[in-house]
Amino acid sequence: MPNQKQAAWKTASAKLTNTESQIVGQKMTLPKQLFFQALLLFITFTVVFPILWVVSMSFDPKADVMRPTTLKLIPDGFSLQAYLNILKKPTSNPVDLPTLFFNSLLLAAGSSFASVMVGVFAAYSFSRFKFAGRQVLMLAVIAVLILPNVATLAPLFVLLNRVQIDLGDITFNLRNSLLGVGLGLLTTLLPFSIWNLKGYIDTIPKELEEAAMIDGCSPNQTFFRIMLPLATPAIAITAFLGFMSGWTEFYLSWQFLTNPQNFTLAMALYNMTGQFASSTPWSHFSAMSVIIALPVSVVYLALQKYMSGGLTIGGVKG
Amino acid sequence: MATLTREKNSGPRDPRAPRKSFWRLVNPYFYLLPAMLVMAIMTYYPMGYGIWMSFTDFGLKNLRIDSAPPNGVGFQNYIDILTGAIAIPNFDFFYTLSFNLFWTFSNVAFHVVIGVLIAVLLNAKGLWFKGIYRAIFVLPIVIPTLVVARVWRNMFDPDFAAINQFLALMGGLVGFAPATFHIRWIESVTPPIPGIPLPLSYFALLITNIWLGWPFMTIVATGALQSISKDFYEAASIDGASPTQQFFSITVPLLRPAMVPAIIYGITLTFNLFNLIYFISGGGPLRQTEILVTTAFRLVNEQRLYGIAAAFAVFIALILLVITLITNRISRATESYDA
């Protein structure tokens, strides 16, 4: 039955669009179709050109291509040698790739987790409660969002530099540690998370919470049993956007960190190009680019359809 | 019901009643407390400290915990920035500011025009492979900007890289020698177009950022296009309007409410596009493509002039405040726009 209905509906709508297009005169002629296809193929070419270039260089069987002398968008063969070659020592700094990867992961996951866990409570409060000072506090959060992270670089550097952590065996300067960079990231990441989550929570209908309240839930129970489960997708997306900004964070770590064991993937990538990297083969650089971009790009692609609605796309300002 | 009446009857003598309303009152702040605590320490305190720093000569000598406090210099840092009396060669605040504004608006204009045109193209009825194109065109959004910038920087290499090799390949078909296309995209100092004082690296940055930016505008425009009723176009074509007329009198005005917030977002993003500029041109040549945020980073990272950097950050904050107020006004004006 439903199939028949669907088929009937389809023919009906097909008829409708047919007559419609006859009226409008929009039915695409073949030459027009081919012209559009050619145009779109050209656009597709410009979009995939840099991606193909770098991916094919990273898979090139000659794993130590210093500089490509010809344009190659499809490699002669397939080899992971370039990836293996950068495993031990991707840059001139004494640090291996797994350490860099782990540092980036720790920084990104830690700061995004902290910002979301702390932020969701504040977001709920802004979205659902009416209280004195709400407007002022919200303005205080948005005002920070206007500022780029660079604006607080100097005071953060100076202040964190004064904090010496002493845990018996472990002593370190907070500025010169991944923890310090993560805290510095929170400066703008936390307000971003609060605001982003508030935007999502605003769109969740209040009726479910009201029903829970009538059934005798306290506000706190409502939050933990109704709101948090409902907001899980929003929390996941906000956390991912925060993760993206931490994963590609550059200027705080570049300014703060001096010990190569703390360096991140983004810093290594910066070291692998430009005027001071004349000894780095470009196939190594390409492999590094793919290593940084691939994991987050795949997740982003998967999450993308959930984000297309709002302006949250593109994530945190960098 | 039973509990309700009991509470009512027990009146103020029940200790639970006033406490409950007290919690009701305090609960919102309780939820805010962790975030506000973190922001107070990590956001507001550094910002306040930065403002204080901007009135001092804070430098490398004051960095150690036991070092002497910096000297107050009043508004000297602010004056030095405006008059260009800073130890960076070719430092010119007003040039950087005007380049930054020009950079922002020229980029966003390209993003919007190209993005909307491609969205309209993809929305054409009966077009083949729409889904495939839409899936591919989202790629520039999902790849981290940092990687994109670094890859393009290498692609602009004069000797070994893809852009010049591709141009040589294409030029070879019409008989140009490959040497014609030894273009020094990033380093070249002379402006390529006579009369327009913009270095070639500006165009390299523009090309990269167009690649990076139009897909977002296409996504926003596609969403808006699909919500435009076909009746408008039908009525217009019955009245004899040409496709061009239909585009300008139906599509453009109906896209406006969706595009304005996207444009504002694009403006703030492009204004502070640190990664792209720092990783491609590095502000060069001769600081001609430097923007405010890259300059701020240099003041801290290379010059170690923390006091001046703090003053510079105050300028950035003020400029962004003005931009935000203007764009807010525009978006509020378009909110009331009657479609």
Nearest to B155 among A50, A124, A293 (CB): A50
Nearest to A71 among B25, B125, B162 (CB): B162
Domain-embedded: residue A52:
no
pLDDT at B88 over 70: yes
What tens digit of pLDDT does each residue of A291-311 get?
999 999 998 888 877 765 443
Written out in words, the top-level CATH class of the domain with range B96-335 is mainly alpha
Give residue limits of the domains in chain B: 96-335
Check B160 against A282: CB less than 8 A apart.
yes
Please report, in angstroms and rounded to a whole number, the separation of the first and last CA atoms in chain B.
Answer: 50
8 A C-beta contact, residue A149 and residue B294: no
Q: Which residues of A touch B50 (CB under 8 A)?
A: 151-152, 154-155
Nearest chain B alpha carbon to A40: B133
Q: Which residues of B touch A308 (CB under 8 A)?
A: 219, 223
Average pLDDT over residues A32-50: 93
Per-residue burial over B298-334, b = 16 or more CB atoms within 10 Å of its CB, e = otherwise? bbbbebbbbbbbbbbbbbbbeebeebbeebeeeeeee
What tens digit of pLDDT does each residue of B235-288 get?
998 998 888 898 888 898 888 888 888 898 899 889 999 989 999 888 878 888
Average pLDDT over residues B73-85: 90
Q: What is the pLDDT at residue A210?
A: 85
Domain-embedded: residue A317:
no
Q: What is the pLDDT at residue A130?
A: 87
Nearest to A158 among B122, B293, B306 (CB): B306
Q: Which residues of B touch A129 (CB under 8 A)?
A: 27-28, 31
Percent of chain A with pLDDT over 70: 86
ipTM of the complex, rounded to two decimals:
0.83
Greater pLDDT, B339 or A230: A230
Nearest to A259 by CA among A198, A204, A178, A318: A178
Q: What is the pLDDT at residue A316?
A: 37
pTM of the model: 0.84
Q: What is the pLDDT at residue A27?
A: 67
pLDDT at B38 over 50: yes
Check B65 against A164: CB less than 8 A apart.
yes
What tens digit of pLDDT does each residue of A104-150 get?
999 999 999 999 999 999 999 999 888 888 999 999 998 888 888 88
User: Chain B: nearest CA to A7, how far in angstroms?
Assistant: 20
Place A217 in a pLDDT band, splitting at 50, 70 and 90.
Answer: confident
Q: What is the pLDDT at residue A1?
A: 41
Q: Give the list of residues 6+ apart from residue A200 with CB closer than 8 angstroms, or none.
A: A123, A231, A234, A237, A238
8 A C-beta contact, residue A217 and residue A226: yes
Write the DSSP assignment of chain A as a string of letters: -HHHHHHHHHHHHHHHHHHHHHHHT-PPPHHHHHHHHHHHHHHHHHHHHHHHHHHHHHT-SSTT-SS-SS--SS-SS---HHHHHHHH-SSSSS--HHHHHHHHHHHHHHHHHHHHHHHHHHHHHHHH---TTHHHHHHHHHHHHHS-GGGGHHHHHHHHHT-EEEETTEEEESTTSHHHHHHHHHHHHHHHHHHHHHHHHHHS-THHHHHHHHTT--HHHIIIIIIHHHTHHHHHHHHHHHHHHHHT--HHHHHH---GGG--HHHHHHHTSSTT-TTS-HHHHHHHHHHHHHHHHHHHHHHHHHHTTSTTTT-S--
* A196/A190 Cα distance (integer angstroms): 10
Q: Which residues of A touch B140 (CB under 8 A)?
A: 47
Average pLDDT over residues A41-69: 86
Dihedral (CA of B268, A298, B135, B277) sign: positive
Domain-embedded: residue A15:
no
Q: What is the pLDDT at residue A26?
A: 54
Q: What is the pLDDT at residue A309?
A: 46
Check B313 against A152: CB less than 8 A apart.
yes
Nearest chain A alpha carbon to B167: A71
pLDDT at A5 over 80: no
Average pLDDT over residues A209-213: 86
A259: number of Cβ within 10 Å: 13
User: Chain A: nearest CA to B127, how far in angstroms?
Assistant: 7
Q: Which residues of B touch A190 (CB under 8 A)?
A: 35, 38-39, 42-43
Domain count of the fold of chain A: 1
pLDDT at B2 over 70: no
Angle formed at CA A269 by CA A263 and CA A271, multiple of 5 degrees: 80
Nearest to B150 among A129, A141, A269 (CB): A269
pLDDT at A312 over 60: no
Summary mean pLDDT of chain A: 83
Q: Which residues of A touch B148 (CB under 8 A)?
A: 50
Q: What is the pLDDT at residue B207?
A: 94
Describe the crossing of helices A97-128 and A282-307 by its angle, rounded to 10 degrees. Answer: 20
User: Chain A: nearest CA to B253, how far in angstroms?
Assistant: 20
Please report, in angstroms and rounded to a whole number, the separation of the first and last CA atoms in chain A.
Answer: 54
Average pLDDT over residues B76-101: 89
Cβ contacts below 8 Å, chain A against chain B, sum to 278
Reduced to 3 states (helix: H, G, I; strand: E, B; else coil), residue B56 is: strand
pLDDT at A15 over 80: no
Check A190 against B129: CB less than 8 A apart.
no
Check B320 against A147: CB less than 8 A apart.
yes
Q: What is the pLDDT at residue B258?
A: 84
Domain-embedded: residue A247:
yes
DSSP H helices in chain B: 2-10, 16-39, 45-53, 76-83, 93-122, 130-137, 139-142, 145-155, 162-173, 200-226, 230-238, 243-246, 252-271, 274-280, 292-301, 306-335
Q: Which residues of B touch A28 (CB under 8 A)?
A: 124-127
Place A89 in a pLDDT band, splitting at 50, 70 and 90.
Answer: confident
What tens digit of pLDDT does each residue of B95-154 get?
999 999 999 999 999 999 999 999 999 988 888 888 899 889 989 988 999 999 989 988
Domain that holds residue A165: 97-307
Domain-embedded: residue A263:
yes
Nearest to A26 by CA among B237, B248, B119: B237
What tens digit of pLDDT does each residue of B296-326 get?
999 898 888 899 999 999 999 999 999 988 9
pLDDT at B16 over 50: no
Nearest chain A alpha carbon to B262: A311
Least confident of A16-30, A192-206, B232-246: A16-30
8 A C-beta contact, residue A272 and residue A90: yes
Q: What is the DSSP letter of B156?
A: T
Check A318 against B146: CB less than 8 A apart.
yes
What tens digit of pLDDT does each residue of A230-286 get?
888 889 889 999 999 999 999 899 999 999 999 999 999 988 876 667 778 888 889
Q: Which residues of A touch B211 (CB under 8 A)?
A: 46-47, 50
Nearest chain A alpha carbon to B53: A155
* B164/B185 Cα distance (integer angstroms): 9
User: Phi/psi of residue A166, each to 5°?
Assistant: -130, 105
A203: number of Cβ within 10 Å: 10
Domain-embedded: residue A170:
yes
* B53/B312 Cα distance (integer angstroms): 11
Summary mean pLDDT of chain B: 85
Nearest chain B alpha carbon to A303: B142
Q: What is the pLDDT at residue B54?
A: 93
Average pLDDT over residues A33-57: 92
What tens digit of pLDDT does each residue of B257-266 get?
888 888 988 9
Q: What is the pLDDT at residue A168?
A: 79
Q: Residue A252 sits in a domain of what CATH number?
A: 1.10.3720.10
User: Chain B: nearest CA to A222, how far in angstroms?
Assistant: 13
Average pLDDT over residues A10-16: 47
pLDDT at B6 over 80: no
Q: What is the pLDDT at residue B334?
A: 67
Average pLDDT over residues B23-33: 86
